[in-house]
Amino acid sequence: MRFWAALCTALLLPLAAPAETATIPQTDRVRIATFNTELSRKGPGLLLRDLLRQKDPQIAAVAETITAADPDILLLQGMDWDLNSATLNAFADLLAETIAPYPHRFAPRPNNGLATGLDMDGNGRLGEARDAQGYGRFTGQGGMALLSRHPIHSSQFRDLSALLWKDLQGAVLPVHPDGSPFPSAEAQDAQRLSSTGHWVVPIQLRDDVTLTLMAFQATTPLFDGEEDRNGLRNRDEIRLWQVLLDGDLGPVPTPPFVIAGGASLDPRRGAGHRDTIFRLLQDPRLQDPRPTDADGHVATVDWGRSGRMRVDYLVPSRAMNVLDAGLIWPAEIPAPDGDGDRLASRHALVWIELEIPSSTD
């Protein structure tokens, strides 16, 4: 009964209460987490259905992982989006049964599944998941969302998700062997850079301190051809943050800030332009806390036969004092095909705890 009451409340809640009217926690530290939950289903509304049934082991294990971390600000990836955020609200209220609630919820429409009407991957067919702005069988499949105990300045939010790939400074787009645009000039004229989104979100930590969260989820660098479409796009999705900090995408975020999300790229192993994430982590304006799990490993995803890699990141601005950091792996659950067990998500939850500066005036 408690869950159903919480869900009814969730469906009526506004997403992000204006920071100017919200209660601001007065504290000297903040814990931030990013977690690719892999809470995605094959059709719209199915994740909400599974939440309502209250029997899904994956949802329970993901919620337990978040409860163990108990972050103040939580960026979720791989979670299906819907227009009225019924799914996000239901999930947030499920979490509120075991940890302090997240009254501030933010989920703009992602690029996942956003139809283009064009052949974006060059296979000669239309309307497939790879023909959307970002991979997805339906709008919002495997999207991104933000939960916070601190007020979100949604009116000051900057969404870079509509930026065309070709318009990013220094962009390298795929070409055919003859040098012509891949898959076509028409497709490149429509192709957004963000496969899910690039958000610049101000969050009020205290009355006198605002943190800027720079959130994203980049495409995999795999599953393309010799043209390296996904690899090049992944490269530029990561590189966008340094272009922004260089002042070439409008106002430069002022510290304190944190880059959060999934780069889908390991700096030392695996496919892709690994030097791109290496350069981001080595940028003198940033610092890499290198969170580790209980065994001291930095890998954040288990790709099975391909092994574990570091692909999920929290990268604060240089001057922030990192008090602690870590990774929490989700529990194993029965595999859908009945063949043994699998992790509830292949990704670990990544968290850092930061000292809140005295003032950002």
Q: What is the mean pLDDT of residues 254-281?
A: 98
Q: What is the mean pLDDT of residues 73-94?
A: 98
286-302: per-residue pLDDT in tens? 999 999 999 999 999 99
pLDDT of 45 higher than 70: yes
On the question of a cis peptide bond just before residue 151, with omega within 30 degrees of 0, the verdict is no
160-213: per-residue pLDDT in tens? 999 999 999 999 999 999 999 999 999 999 999 999 999 999 999 999 999 999
- pLDDT, residue 275, reads 98
Element (H, E) at 307: none
- pLDDT, residue 337, reads 65
127-160: per-residue pLDDT in tens? 999 999 999 999 999 999 999 999 999 999 999 9
For 147, the token pair is 């939960």
- pLDDT, residue 16, reads 54
pLDDT of 39 higher than 70: yes
Average pLDDT, the chain: 93
Among 151, 146, 288, 145, which residue's Cα sits nearest to residue 209?
151
pTM of the model: 0.92
CB 283 within 8 A of CB 245: yes
Q: What is the mean pLDDT of residues 74-81?
A: 99
26 vs 220 pLDDT, higher one: 220
- pLDDT, residue 340, reads 72
Dihedral of the alpha carbons of 129, 135, 141, 142, in degrees to the nearest 10: 150
Among 202, 207, 79, 87, which residue's Cα sits nearest to residue 145?
79
- pLDDT, residue 239, reads 99
Domains of the chain (ranges plus CATH)? 2-355 (3.60.10.10)
- pLDDT, residue 359, reads 74
- pLDDT, residue 341, reads 82
CB 36 within 8 A of CB 79: no
Tell me whether strands 158-159 and 209-217 are parallel, antiparallel or unpaired: unpaired
299-353: per-residue pLDDT in tens? 999 999 899 999 999 999 999 999 999 999 999 998 776 667 889 999 999 999 9
Order of all β-strands in the sheet with 73-79: 104-106, 143-148, 73-79, 29-36, 349-355, 322-328
Rg (the chain; Cα; Å): 20
Burial degree of 258 (CB within 10 A; 0-12, 13-18, 19+): buried
